[in-house]
Amino acid sequence: MKCEHYQRWVSDDLDGVLTAKKRRRLESHLSACAACWSYRQELALIQAEAGALEAGPVAADYLEEFTAAIEKKLRQEKEVADRGGPVPPRWKWAWVSVPLALALIFGIVFFRSGRDGFRNEIFSFEACLDRVFEEIGGDEKIAADFSRSLSVSLLEGGEAVVLEDDIDLWSEPFFWQSLSDEDLGWIEEEIKKGIRS
Amino acid sequence: MDDDGEARLVERAQGGDLAAYTELVHRYRERIYKTIYRFTRNHDDTDDLAQETFLRAFKELRRFRRRSGFYTWIYRIALNLSFNLLKKRKKEMAGQQSAVRLPGVEKAMLSGPEAASSAGELRDRLAAAVDSLPRLFRSAFILVVYQGLTHGQAARVLGCSENTVSWRMHKARKILQSELRPFLKEVTDEM
């Protein structure tokens, strides 16, 4: 096994999620690998320093003021609701629901009648990636190639703006596993837009 | 308070019981405040977002189906609001053509290793390096290291698998170790 794997176990060990069996293997590796041993020392130092960075308790009087402010706003909300108050925001938009529903129905009909099976398949982006992941079966080289191809096409299409902070992620195998639901949803929407156009 | 007690509080709050909801605010206010502060790094924004978190949670409480814990749900709201603020700040900074990194990060990047002669300075550099982590790694790091959540709890908050949390933690630590290596070596040599 490569040092990278053991270094991930070092991280898991710091978080208390490494099994006893893996820890024994890790210790055995560390006793023979100076680089990984040094890596663990450095991570242990980072962990200790991060613990010292933890902010102290928030002042009690501040917390009381904070809670009082929230209680005041909640009471106002409740009074408005009890009086039957203004129309809740979601009902303000009720007038657009009919055209939206019609557009959705037409969209589905159009999508089903005019498109082939492949285009329906791609409808769930995350499901597609899950299937790719199953096919790859843990082969990091193939996964890296796939990640690279995917990222290049998304970048070329100008669709990776939302993820620019995390650009380093794209060179990682299985990078999509670390994307949030929101990011995956965004990419899926962009791909769907591309298909329609 | 046990989970049953919390579930009853949530149920009462869903029925419009303000006292029950205030009890939940008491329970989570400090943790939510500290979590948001890790992202915003200023008390005014933290105060606004923490209040917004609890108010939004109250308004949406009827939609909370209790499939996950209340804390998971409210953490997610807090993180989403924090991410939105960071995105907004980034746009504003881009508009002003300012430096992308925070002042603390610039300081950490520009100073040489000779400037870090003590663990206290290492701590400052670590804080700046955590601030500059990509947000997915940063949120995992904040929840696990600062908030003490398990990988399972963090996974529920972040909407991903435990394996993903483990991977993000590993990558976050690799980035931190790589950025702080010269200073870490200096401190470990002194020890």
Domains and CATH numbers, chain A: 3-53 (1.10.10), 117-196 (no CATH)
Pairwise pLDDT comparison (B82 vs B94), residue with the higher score: B82
Contact B123 A52 (CB under 8 A): yes
**Tokens, residue B16:** 């419009």
Across the range B13-32, mean pLDDT stands at 91
Query: Quick one: how many helices (H) and strands (E) in chain B?
Result: 9, 0
pLDDT tens digits, one per residue of A183-192: 666 666 766 6
Confidence category of residue A49, pLDDT binned at 50, 70, 90: confident
Pairwise pLDDT comparison (A173 vs B7), residue with the higher score: B7
Residue carrying structure tokens 């193939």:
A142
Residue A69 carries which side chain, given as an amino acid letter? A
Q: Which of A74, A126, A167 to mutate to test the interface with B (most CBs of B within 10 A)?
A: A74
Confidence category of residue A26, pLDDT binned at 50, 70, 90: very high
Query: Which CATH number does B99-191 carry?
Result: 1.10.10.10
Q: Which CATH number applies to B1-98: 3.20.20.140, 3.10.28.10, 1.10.1740.10, 1.10.150.20?
A: 1.10.1740.10
User: What pLDDT, on the 0 to 100 scale, is given for residue B123?
Assistant: 83
Average pLDDT across chain B, whole number? 81
**Res. B158: pLDDT tops 70:** yes
User: What pLDDT, on the 0 to 100 scale, is given for residue A95?
Assistant: 56
The structural domains of chain B, with segments of one domain joined by +, span 1-98, 99-191
Give the distance between the most distant pair of CA atoms in chain A.
73
ipTM of the complex: 0.74
Tell me which range, A27-36, A65-74, B11-20, B108-117, is most confidently predicted by mean pLDDT. A27-36
| Alpha-carbon distances, residue A108 vs A99, A101, B52 (angstroms) | 14, 11, 37
Residues from chain A that touch B185, judged by Cβ atoms under 8 A, are: 42
Residue carrying structure tokens 């490569």:
A2
Across the range A161-187, mean pLDDT stands at 55
User: What pLDDT, on the 0 to 100 scale, is given for residue B2?
Assistant: 61
Q: Distance from CA of residue B43 to its chain's centroid?
A: 14
SS3 helix, strand, coil % of chain B, rounded to 5? 80, 0, 20
| CA separation for the pair A157, B120 (Å, rounded) | 46
Given CB atoms, is B187 within the 8 Å cutoff of chain A? yes
Across the range B34-51, mean pLDDT stands at 90
- Please count the CA atoms within 13 angstroms of the CA of B30 that sit on its side-chain side: 15
Residue of B58, B135, B184 with shortest CB distance to A165: B135
Pairwise pLDDT comparison (A72 vs A167), residue with the higher score: A72
Please report the DSSP string for B116-159 in residue order: --SHHHHHHHHHHHHHTS-HHHHHHHIIIIIS---HHHHHHHHT
Helix axis angle, B119-131 to B103-110, nearest 10°? 120
Given CB atoms, is B156 within the 8 Å cutoff of chain A? no
User: What pLDDT, on the 0 to 100 scale, is given for residue A160?
Assistant: 44
pLDDT tens digits, one per residue of A29-44: 999 999 999 999 999 9
| CA separation for the pair A132, A140 (Å, rounded) | 12
Across the range B99-113, mean pLDDT stands at 39
Residue of A55, A66, A180 with shortest CB distance to B159: A180
Across the range B176-188, mean pLDDT stands at 83
Contact B4, B112 (CB under 8 A): no
Confidence category of residue B28, pLDDT binned at 50, 70, 90: very high
Give B3→chain A minimum CA distance, Å.
Answer: 22
Q: Distance from CA of residue B66 to its chain's centroid?
A: 23
CB atoms within 10 A of CB A190: 18
Contact B168, B140 (CB under 8 A): yes
Contact A66 B29 (CB under 8 A): yes
Confidence category of residue A17, pLDDT binned at 50, 70, 90: very high
In this structure, of A16-25, A114-123, A184-193, B167-176, the range with the lowest mean pLDDT score is A114-123
Residue of B166, B171, B173 with shortest CB distance to A43: B173
